[in-house]
Structure 1
Amino acid sequence: MGSVCKRWNEIVNSRRFLWNFSNILSQKPWYFMFTSNDNPAGYAYDPILRKWYVFELPCNLTSCWFIASSCGLVCFMDNQTRSQLFVCNPITKNFRKLEEPPRLNSSPDYSALAISVDRKSLSYTISIVKSKQVPGDFIQWDTSIHVYNSDTQSWVTLATEVLRGWRGGDESVICHGVLYCLIYSTLVMGGNSNRHGLIMYDLSRTSSHASLMGTLIPVPCSLTCGRLMNLKEKLVMVGGIGKPDRPDIIKGIGIWVLDKKEWQEVARMPHKFFQGFGELDDVFTSSGNDDLIYIQSYGAPALLVFDLYQKQWKWSQKCPVTKRFPLQLFTGFSFEPRLEVAP
């Protein structure tokens, strides 16, 4: 529409048009699938029309990046230095490079990225949880929380703590103004299934907090490929359920919602869908927004969709991408297709 004439271009790029347009249309999240290489192109799945579109990010952000999304914006962080950050709107192709986060715990062993957009003001908050092993001591890990505010365009360090027996990972999410982060036990012995936990930090508080470990919530089972997501301000976790004798081999995939520090299982993948992933192929990714959760094996372009509201499982339309060699890997992330949100 914008290419018709200058007047139409002014209209479709006006704030009023973009706001009305985005609020009239259903904003079910799309899923962007790409192969793990240096090509920023891939395919985006629209669950309303059940169609795949050839899709390309505005710059090369698909190679070894941490990715988080919220309300139309997607945040990327590089895997090497953990200091380059970009925020972009995949639909409008607008993007912005952010200033580097604090170098406390520089070159961390693990980093967890999260973003949260305020749907009224459209300002956003980005958090990074850095975790670095104390030299010569695998039991103790330096952990720090850093937060960026788009209004002030600056970073603050909210917490620094040495976790004993636990380390951070690469999975976190912001929900209702609270930062949640999965942590992993460094004291796993024998058949101990308590290998994961959840810690939280209230981002609205400015005073000092108690110990992060004081907020620890155990996960409901032996977990693999655990992912956290914010679905309409509900904290949801998706993960593979490990076998009691072989926790590294999953017997199913479950979905839980956190309710007053208690996990409630809301769904478990039916066996007929689980077979589509292959029992021994226990490496998968998942992400979600609104009421939809997308689950995808790294080894194939098949995409499974779960509707949390309707409690329905279904495969997406077949993705046009084809697997060209046996070890080719696929991954992706979900995002809301919105026009009015700017990075």
Structure 2
Amino acid sequence: MECIGRSVSLKRKSPENGDNPLFSNFSLDDLNEDLFERILSWLPTSTFFRGTSVCKRWKSVAASTSFKHACSQIPSREPWFLMVAPNLNQSVIFDTAESSWKRLNHPPLLHEESNQSCMPVASSGGLICHRKLSGDFIVSNPVTGSCSELPPLHISSQNQPLNAIVMRTASKDQLSFRIVLVFGELPNLVFKVYNSSSGCWENETALRRKVGDIDNSMEYDSTDENAVYFLSKGGIVVASSLQRSASKQYSSVVTNKDGNEIVYYLSSSGTVVACNLTRKCFFEHPRLLPVFSEYSIDVVECNGEMLIVLLSEFLETASLRVWKYDEGWHQIAAMPVANSHEWFGKKADINCVGAGNQIFVCLNSPEICTYVLCDLETNKWVELPKCCLNGEVMDFMSAFSFEPRIEASV
């Protein structure tokens, strides 16, 4: 198969003089290496990798340091979604640029027997963070397969519950990242940060309750840490028989607004807790809806803002809606009732992830499993086709959003 670059000929007909020699027989091969790399850096990642398999010049570019630098200058790429299935020994992604499923080679470090049960727990930029059974972490670039094991994690109290795991990459160069963990029982919260620039975990820092915040916590049975909690029609928190995806039990997001780095996570009673790492305080948002409907809830980040996705039941139907907090909760998007009604009475679990203006939603119940992509700008909800692997339909519990960046370093 001929290289794509060789088949591109930039010719233009002159209406009066025939072929213009200035543009005649001009191809990508005529470009100098620097300009050639800059042009290739703008290609969708899948398109570029297809080219590397058939052209020596493109293949050599993939390993070029200057090409990776050119790629780092691209402000954003169409997101890929890493899918999480019960079988963790494979990497399946949904490519939004091509609206197709793809299978990636599993990173070598995650193939090791001691790491086979690593669970993806956070993502940012072009990287995925995995948590080992021991509680330590591995960071990988799913596109290149590169992996790095972080130093062991030591916390002052081993009995503190882990509430949130978030990750942030430096958007300018994709060469550095931070991982933030939030521990503790309300109101005694602490956070701990790993900084890739220093290569070590920083000391724990305590968070105080923000002045004026009301304790929104509710009584609930905490004997089952993996249960999904719903608000019953009687206004009490009850545990469902459905287990939340293990990869999303630390469901949380991070934003940076007005110089304040804020981590948001869901408490066991269903409230949204906002931890301001800059000011070292936390705040509990008021409950989203009156406590008379059962619901499944998740928190996402889109365009630097925290949003809530809520599956609720009311008036004999189910609704899936997106909410934003601005001195109160405001609905900003809703799935058409004709699509959401099928989830009524099924006690579905939703696991969501945001990417730009899009929200990827995995809806799971014992009966059906569906993946939906929501465009917040148009309020368009698209159900994705099923993923077939080796002739079998795959069921996924959750997904993590990342940008396919070959320059992202671990």
TM-score (norm 2): 0.65
Q: Which residue in 2 is equivalent to 1:98?
A: 150
Distance 1:32 1:112 in 2: 19
Answer yes or no: is 1:131 the counterpart of 2:184.
Answer: yes
Are the counterparts in 2 of residues 304 and 316 from structure 1 also a CA contact under 8 Å?
yes
Are the counterparts in 1 of residues 324 and 331 from structure 2 also a CA contact under 8 Å?
yes
SS in 2 for 1:68: strand
Larger relative contact order (CA 8 Å, sep ≥ 6): 1
Aligned partner of 1:159: which letter? Answer: A
Among 3, 10, 18, the alignment partner of 2:68 is: 18
Distance 1:278 1:3 in 2: 48
Among 86, 90, 99, the alignment partner of 1:50 is: 99
SS in 1 for 2:94: strand
Aligned partner of 1:172: which letter? Answer: S
Answer yes or no: is 1:227 the counterpart of 2:227.
Answer: no
Aligned-pair distance for 1:84? 1.3
Among 119, 123, 146, the alignment partner of 1:69 is: 123
Equivalent positions of 1:31-42 (< 5 A) are 31-37=81-87, 39-42=88-91
Q: Which residue in 2 is equivalent to 1:331?
A: 398
Aligned-pair distance for 1:255? 0.9
Aligned partner of 2:353: which letter? Answer: S
Alpha-carbon distance change, 235 to 164 in structure 1, aligned in 2, over 3 angstroms: closer
> Please, which moves more after superposition, 175-184 or 84-93?
175-184
Whose Rg is larger? Answer: 2
Among 316, 322, 333, the alignment partner of 2:384 is: 316
Question: CA-to-partner distance for each residue in 1:78-102, whole Å, 9 max, x for gaps?
Answer: 3x44x21011111111111111233
Aligned-pair distance for 1:145? 1.0
Answer yes or no: is 1:236 the counterpart of 2:307.
Answer: yes
> Please, which moves more after superposition, 85-94 or 157-166?
157-166
SS in 1 for 2:268: strand
Alpha-carbon distance change, 165 to 269 in structure 1, aligned in 2, over 3 angstroms: same
Answer yes or no: is 1:180 the counterpart of 2:233.
Answer: no
Question: CA-to-partner distance for each residue in 1:95-151, whole Å, 9 max, x for gaps?
Answer: 11111233223154443110011211432111111235xxxxxxx675321111111
Distance 2:76 2:192 in 1: 34
Aligned partner of 1:342: which letter? Answer: S
Are the counterparts in 2 of residues 234 and 258 from structure 1 also a CA contact under 8 Å?
no
Are the counterparts in 2 of residues 105 and 144 from structure 1 also a CA contact under 8 Å?
no
Distance 2:121 2:102 in 1: 20
Aligned-pair distance for 1:22? 6.2
SS in 2 for 1:27: coil
Distance 1:129 1:88 in 2: 22
Aligned-pair distance for 1:273? 2.2
Alpha-carbon distance change, 17 to 306 in structure 1, aligned in 2, over 3 angstroms: same
SS in 2 for 1:200: strand
| Consecutive unaligned residues in structure 1, runs of 5 or more | 133-139, 186-194
Are the counterparts in 2 of residues 75 and 88 from structure 1 also a CA contact under 8 Å?
yes
Distance 1:101 1:76 in 2: 13
Aligned-pair distance for 1:63? 4.0
Are the counterparts in 1 of residues 373 and 383 from structure 2 also a CA contact under 8 Å?
yes
Root-mean-square deviation (CA, aligned residues, Å) is 3.4
Distance 2:159 2:251 in 1: 17
When the two structures are aligned, how many residues end up with a matched partner? Answer: 309
Aligned partner of 1:149: which letter? Answer: N
Q: Which residue in 1 is equivalent to 2:37?
A: none
Question: CA-to-partner distance for each residue in 1:276-305, whole Å, 9 max, x for gaps?
Answer: 545414212111211111111234553110
Q: Which residue in 2 is equivalent to 1:199?
A: 274
| Consecutive unaligned residues in structure 2, runs of 5 or more | 1-50, 210-214, 226-248
Aligned-pair distance for 1:243? 5.0
Alpha-carbon distance change, 97 to 224 in structure 1, aligned in 2, over 3 angstroms: farther
> Please, which moves more after superposition, 166-175 or 108-117?
166-175
Percent identity of paired positions between Structure 1 and Structure 2: 23
Aligned-pair distance for 1:158? 1.9
SS in 2 for 1:20: helix
Distance 1:243 1:64 in 2: 38
